[in-house]
């Protein structure tokens, strides 16, 4: 089922939290709304669910205008950050509650509960109460309760954020597999870029209530549209150096090297990811600085170099042995440099 937001805006009094958002979610797509707190992502999700009124614009689900339709008539199921389970009901009763209030026949309801419980590996726990379950199991009950309705659209508001890191990784894999098997259009809100990159078919990155980029995880990582996107996606984040363009050279302090971009500009931001930086002895046509710190991560080391007052992180081999204060030269992979206007943040191509 497709979901379309047509110039959807939301204001709380004089504060505009979402600016004319145009977004089309394809049938069967897993779309992630990604952004920091206050970016407008949860507000957008709640408007699709009907839990928040739209200030202007339209919302269409499956081609039907649902802007003024009550939440219960939109054929969507929402999973919240908190499990919101009934403590006095068993797992089976929690899962089957949406069917019970629809007065479904008992035999059909029991079949549907068993079918969904099997999909999320809860069959052995159907007679238990929520207090007897782990956090991950409780979240699976909440997911099963949403799935049992077989809605047109799943809406998920940070459903994994209360879980420990190991369980979160496991549940990400479960969610991705489940959505692939069911083929139900899913809109998922998170501030966690790892979740977004691993789960999404496409990511809609929001900041300040505005859509910054809508694309596949690979394209958002490899071809960011502006400086905000470039710095938001990536761990460790993209290095950004402030300098100038001079006849095709990038100049930062006493350092100058071929930028691969023509022209001259007084204020330019150069972005380069840590894995696209090499570390060597100081020399010409590279950025020279001193080692600020070295961190062994396991399969690699992260070396932070101080360059003309800025910090530059380099992904180095795990056996790198440079000491703090030593001079180093940082080489940059020519095909992986990003240039941005230092004031507007727009990409220079």
pLDDT value, residue 143: 85
Helices 91-100 and 135-147 sit at what angle, rounded to 10 degrees? Answer: 20
Whether residue 30 has pLDDT greater than 70: yes
Which 3 state secondary structure label does DSSP give 174?
helix
pLDDT digits (tens, 9 = 90+) for 119-177: 888 999 999 999 999 888 888 898 889 888 889 999 999 988 877 788 788 888 888 88
* DSSP per-residue string spanning 326-343: -EEEEEE-GGG-EEEETT
The residue among 328, 320, 274 whose CA lies nearest residue 301 is 320
Q: Which residue has the higher pLDDT, 101 or 213?
A: 213
pTM, entire model:
0.88
pLDDT value, residue 126: 96
Instruction: Please compute the mean of the pLDDT values over residues 242-251 and round it to a whole number.
Output: 87
Whether residue 46 has pLDDT greater than 80: yes
Token couple for 326: 């030593």
Instruction: Specify the range with the lowest mean pLDDT, choosing from 30-34, 43-47, 162-166.
Output: 162-166
pLDDT value, residue 259: 75
pLDDT value, residue 285: 63
CA–CA separation, 187 vs 153, rounded Å? 8
Between the CA of residue 67 and those of 48, 129, 156, what are the distances in Å?
Answer: 8, 37, 19
CA–CA separation, 287 vs 303, rounded Å? 14
In the chain, what percentage of residues exceed pLDDT 70?
99
CA–CA separation, 97 vs 104, rounded Å? 10
Q: Which residue has the higher pLDDT, 309 or 212?
A: 212
Whether residue 309 has pLDDT greater than 70: yes
The residue among 70, 121, 72 whose CA lies nearest residue 95 is 121
288 close to 256: Cβ distance less than 8 angstroms: no
Beta strand pairing call for 76-79 and 153-157: parallel
> Which residue in the block uniquely carries the two structure tokens 């083929």?
183
Whether residue 284 has pLDDT greater than 70: no
Instruction: Please compute the mean of the pLDDT values over residues 16-22 and round it to a whole number.
Output: 96
Whether residue 95 has pLDDT greater than 90: yes
From the candidate CATH numbers 2.60.40.10, 3.40.50.300, 3.40.50.10190, 3.40.190.10, the one assigned to the domain spanning 3-231: 3.40.50.300
Which 3 state secondary structure label does DSSP give 204?
strand
pLDDT value, residue 288: 87
pLDDT value, residue 274: 95
58 close to 66: Cβ distance less than 8 angstroms: no
pLDDT value, residue 9: 97
Whether residue 24 has pLDDT greater than 80: yes
pLDDT digits (tens, 9 = 90+) for 190-223: 999 999 999 999 999 999 999 999 999 999 999 9
Q: Which residues is 277 bridged to in the sheet?
A: 332
Q: Where are the domains of the chain?
A: 3-231, 237-348
Which 3 state secondary structure label does DSSP give 344?
coil
237-348 is a CATH 2.40.50.140 domain:
yes
* Confidence band for 336, pLDDT divided at 50, 70 and 90: confident
pLDDT value, residue 146: 87
Average pLDDT, the chain: 91
In the chain, what percentage of residues exceed pLDDT 90?
66
Beta strand pairing call for 327-332 and 287-296: antiparallel
Whether residue 295 has pLDDT greater than 80: yes
């Amino acid at each position: 089922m497709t979901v379309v937001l047509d110039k959807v805006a939301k204001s709380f009094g004089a504060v505009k939290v979402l600016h004319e958002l145009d977004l089309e979610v394809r049938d069967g797509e897993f779309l992630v709304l990604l952004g920091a707190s206050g970016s407008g992502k949860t507000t957008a999700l709640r408007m699709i669910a009907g839990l928040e009124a739209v200030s202007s614009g339209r919302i269409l689900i499956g081609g039907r205008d649902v802007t003024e339709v009550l939440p219960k008539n939109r054929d969507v199921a929402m999973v919240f950050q908190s499990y919101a389970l009934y403590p006095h009901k068993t797992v089976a009763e929690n899962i089957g509650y949406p069917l019970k209030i629809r007065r479904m026949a008992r035999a059909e309801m029991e079949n549907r509960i068993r079918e969904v419980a099997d999909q999320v590996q809860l069959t052995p726990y159907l007679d238990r109460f929520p207090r007897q379950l782990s956090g991950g199991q409780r979240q699976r009950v909440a997911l099963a309760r949403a799935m049992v309705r077989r809605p047109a659209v799943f809406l998920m508001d940070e459903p994994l954020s209360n879980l420990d890191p190991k369980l979160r990784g496991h549940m990400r894999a479960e969610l991705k597999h489940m959505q692939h098997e069911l083929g139900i259009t899913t809109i998922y809100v998170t501030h966690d870029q790892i979740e977004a990159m691993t789960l999404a078919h496409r990511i809609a990155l929001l900041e300040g209530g505005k859509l910054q980029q809508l694309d596949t995880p690979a394209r958002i990582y490899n071809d960011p549209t502006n400086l905000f996107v470039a710095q938001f996606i990536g761990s460790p984040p993209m290095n950004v150096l402030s300098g100038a363009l001079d006849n095709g050279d990038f100049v930062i302090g006493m350092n100058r090297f071929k930028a691969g971009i023509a022209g001259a500009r007084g204020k330019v931001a150069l972005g380069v990811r840590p894995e696209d930086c090499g570390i060597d002895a100081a020399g010409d046509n590279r950025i020279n600085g001193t080692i600020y710190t070295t961190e062994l991560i396991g399969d690699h080391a992260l070396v932070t170099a101080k360059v003309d007052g800025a910090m530059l992180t380099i992904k180095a081999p795990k056996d790198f042995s440079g000491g703090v204060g030593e001079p180093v030269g940082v080489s940059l992979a020519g095909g992986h440099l990003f240039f941005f206007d230092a004031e507007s943040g727009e990409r220079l191509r």
